[in-house]
Each structure stands twice: as C-alpha cells, then as structure tokens.
Chain A
C-alpha cells in the first residue's frame, strides 16, 4: 500500500524504497552498459584474448608497448589530428561568417538559408558517406563532370581509391556535413548578445570590424568554446563516415583510431589489443578535456 506522507514541502528524508524505485533503473542500466564495459576494457587490455573462452593469457602492459610502437596507430592518430585541425580551420570561420549573415533578420531568406545549411547534419553519416562515394565515383560521379570541365585530357582521379587523396576527399565530406552544426551554435550565441551593446557601439561610430572584434566575438566566447570542443572530440571519435566511405582504406590511408580499434577488435577478434586502443582513446579524450577546461579557466581569469 502506498502510504501518504505528510511532507513539510515534500522536503526531508524520503524512504529507501522511494529512492530505489526512482534511481534504481537508471543505476542498473548505466552501470551495466557504460561503467562495467569501460572497466572491462581496462581489464581486457592486459590480456591476449580473442573474446572466446577464459581469459588466461595475461600480458601485463605488453599490449600498451605494442600500442606505442604500432605504426598503424601512429598513422591513424595523425589522421585524427589532421581531421581535427583542418576541419576546425575551415568549418569555424565558414560557420562564423554564415552565422553573421543569416542571423541578420533584415537579410531576406535568412531563415531559409539557416534551415537549409543545417540539413546535412541531420542526415546519417552512412547516408552522407555513400552519397559522397557516388559523387566521387570515377565513372558516374559529379567528379567526372567537374573533371571534364577543368582538365578533360587527364584520366579521372579515383579520389577514394588513392592513398594520397582519400583523407582529403573525406575531409570535404566532414566539412560538408558538420559546418551547419557550428553555424547553428554561433547563431544561438549571437542571439544572446544584447542588441543595445551593438547599437551603442554603432552610435559611438565604431566600424563593423571593430564591432565584430570588441563586441560580437567576446560575446560569443561560450559558443566558440562549445563548438571547438564538439569538433575536436568528434574528430577523435570519428568512425561512421570513415567506415561508410571505405572502412579506413586503401591501405589504412583513411584509418582513424576508432576504425582501427574496431578492425582489431571485431574483424581480427583481438579483443585484448582492441581494448588497449580503446583505453588509450579514452585517455586522449580525457587529457584533451582537462587541458581544454584548464585553458578556459585560465583565460577567464
């Protein structure tokens, strides 16, 4: 029987069962599928294990030694770094410029552009990846048309099949897909800047550049911080687009650290070493988060 409690404003101690019913399901779900696997990854990483049978081949830190000397790891991490840096360098200014334009309500079509530019973000990575596979297709794709216009005499490049171009081709897709997210974050940031500040600066005769640098940019700090954070963590964890556009190939030329982890763990069933890679991904994300927070705190002082 449910007992009617007479609470003083419902505050005070609740009984154990109330709390258990409310908190229990979340705790079980979260512990089973998030916390335990993360700790298991740490445990698996010390073994050589194919995922079947008992784990008895204890290696200690040997998997970690392998991680640090693994050339494909280095290659994959360098790809992650390239993706993080280039996508930031292109997406952020592009998104900022577009946000400044389409947040101006006097700009005709602003709402349309704003809505449309966000559309690629809504499409799944797999759909985006396959669509661009077609765009890049050397026999059918848009690339053949463009190539025909600009240099009809040379053979059509196979952008996704050539180790020297594949990463750049995928970067284009990443920018295509994600700049709208950053633009939307900036629009929200812009709208939070008090209009009076901008008007006051205009009345004082400040130039547009001046207003941007001393009023708008400082006002958008939180928005920029958020978008940089999303962008870098997203780059470290990039998998779906890579998998949909060639599974990291050819010859690891578009491998990212997560696609390599997946390949090691579930294609070669080396769960032990795969878990080592997973733990290292976690540490990289953690270090980035901590450094980033520290920098922001310092900057705020």
Chain B
C-alpha cells in the first residue's frame, strides 16, 4: 500500500481550502439571512455580518404569531398547490404510462410521440395563451388554475420515465396475474404500482419541489394575496416592507425552511431524479 506522501498531503490541503471557500460562499449569504432576521435595522446597517447583539426576536415572532400572519397562509397555499400538482401528475401519468407501456393498440406510438413533444415546449412559450385559456375557463385566481397547467407541463417527463420502467416489468408477472384472474386495472394496482414505488417517489418529489419553487405560473394566475404561494408571498412581503430588511430577511429565512426540510428528507430521490439522464452507455 502507498503511504501518504507529502505531495498527496499538499493536494489534500488544497482540496480542503477549495471546498472550504465554496462552503463559505454558499453559507455566508444564508447565515446573513438567518441572523439578519434577528437584528434591528440599525444593527443590520452597522453590522451586516456579525452576530446579532442583542437578538431581537420580534421579527420572527411577528411573522409567525403576530399580525403579519400571511406566512402560514402562504405556506398552506404552497402545500395545497404542491400536493394537488403531485396528485394529478401521479394519477393521470401512471394511467397513461401504463397504457403506453403495456397495451398494444393502434396509434400507441402516435400518442407516445404526442406526449414526448411536450418535452420540447418550454412553459414560457405557452404562458400568454395559457392566461387567455384560464380566463375563459374561469380558472384565473384559483389554485386549480395553478395546479392544472403545472401538472400538464410535468406530465411528459412522468410518462417517459414511468413508461420505460413499466416496460421492463417481466411478462411472467402479467401471465401469473392473468391466471389469477386479474384484469388490466387489477394488474395495474396490485403489481405495477407497488413495483414502481421508487420511480413514483422520485417523480413525486421532483414535481413537488418544482411546484414549491415555481413562481411563473402563480404570478400569471393569482391576484388575491390570500391565495399567494410562498414565492409570491416573498415578493409581496418585500414590496410591503421595502425598507425593513430585518423583517424581509426573517420572512425569507422562514420561507427557506420547507425546501431545506424537503431536501433533507428526500435527498436520495431528488438526486436520483435529476441525474437519471447522466448515466448511459
């Protein structure tokens, strides 16, 4: 075995310095946001980086339990929109992916290509007609009006990933299910769905994160502050408290927490989903 040479130790040190620097570049702004929420405006101006002295709890307090109660409502709205989007994508997408993967029928391939086309259309292209469309469907300023377009644009990716997966489920399982008397829906619910849990989880988490962070669609659809999702809430709060940066930073910090929690809990799925295209022969 090799011993650690001085050259290796040198490289190692360089690597730690490099990682440490990148760490600081990411950590300092986040730290400033967290601590800024605990400062008075005066402290913030004099000492943007130092620890708060004294800690002022009223900003976080006001946002969480005080009169500025928009935070909880917006959190709830984001949750509602996110879960709604995931539910629609998962149910509708699983059905479609199953049909495209497992049932032979005329035009199966045509439908497949039709959905595949969706990957080519960025949301931005559709956003103005979407506005007109939602207006004529009376869905402007409703959460459904955010959920449906988000789900529709998430659908192609879901169908592509899941179809590929379902295709790989061995035919023997289908035969066994047929012998046991299952019909297509029985097979779908008792065999395909349980086997697809990992990929369903991956797509669900990615869809949730995308919805959670989405700003474009809610900005287009929602007008009433009571219906705002968190990213819109952040913009709105900033508009209202233009000079009170300590308030804004407190709100910002609180708004970061859910995404960080999702990340910590679901890191495995997020990374798997985003890198699924990175490995190929």
A9 touches B103 (CB 8 A): no
Is A122 in contact with B259, judged by CB distance below 8 angstroms? Answer: yes
Partner of A10, one of B22, B102, B214, B271: B102
Chain A residues, Cβ within 8 Å of B255? 124, 127
* Total B residues in contact with A, Cβ cutoff 8 Å: 103
B120 x A289 contact (CB < 8 A): yes
Closest beta carbon of chain B to A94's beta carbon, Å: 8
**Size of the chain A interface, CB-CB below 8 angstroms:** 102
Verify if B149 is at the interface (C-beta below 8 Å from A): yes
Residues of B31-46 whose CB lies within 8 A of A: 32-33, 36, 44-45
- Contact indicator B122/A282 (Cβ below 8 Å): yes
Number of A-B contacts (CB under 8 A): 300
* 29 pairs from A and B in contact (CB 8 Å cutoff): A3-B183, A5-B183, A8-B178, A10-B187, A11-B171, A14-B103, A32-B148, A33-B149, A35-B114, A38-B121, A44-B128, A44-B132, A51-B128, A94-B22, A117-B23, A117-B26, A118-B263, A123-B213, A124-B255, A142-B29, A176-B29, A185-B278, A191-B279, A236-B122, A240-B215, A243-B215, A244-B215, A261-B127, A265-B127
- With contacts A14-B184, A22-B98 known, what are 8 further pairs, Cβ within 8 A? A29-B88, A41-B126, A41-B128, A117-B23, A123-B213, A124-B255, A126-B235, A278-B127
**B interface list, Cβ under 8 A from A:** 12, 15, 18-19, 22-23, 25-30, 32-33, 36, 44-45, 48-49, 88, 91-93, 95-96, 98-100, 102-105, 111, 114-115, 117-118, 120-133, 148-149, 151-153, 155-156, 159, 171, 174-175, 177-178, 181-185, 187, 209, 212-216, 219-220, 230-232, 234-235, 238, 245, 248-249, 252, 255-256, 259-260, 262-263, 267, 270-271, 274-275, 277-280
Spell out A's residues near B (CB within 8 Å).
Answer: 2-14, 18-19, 21-23, 25-27, 29-30, 32-38, 40-41, 44, 51, 94, 97-98, 101-102, 107, 109, 113, 115-120, 122-127, 130-132, 134-135, 137, 139-142, 144-145, 176, 181, 184-189, 191-192, 222-223, 226-227, 233, 236-237, 239-240, 243-244, 258, 261-262, 265-266, 271, 274-275, 278-279, 281-282, 285-286, 289
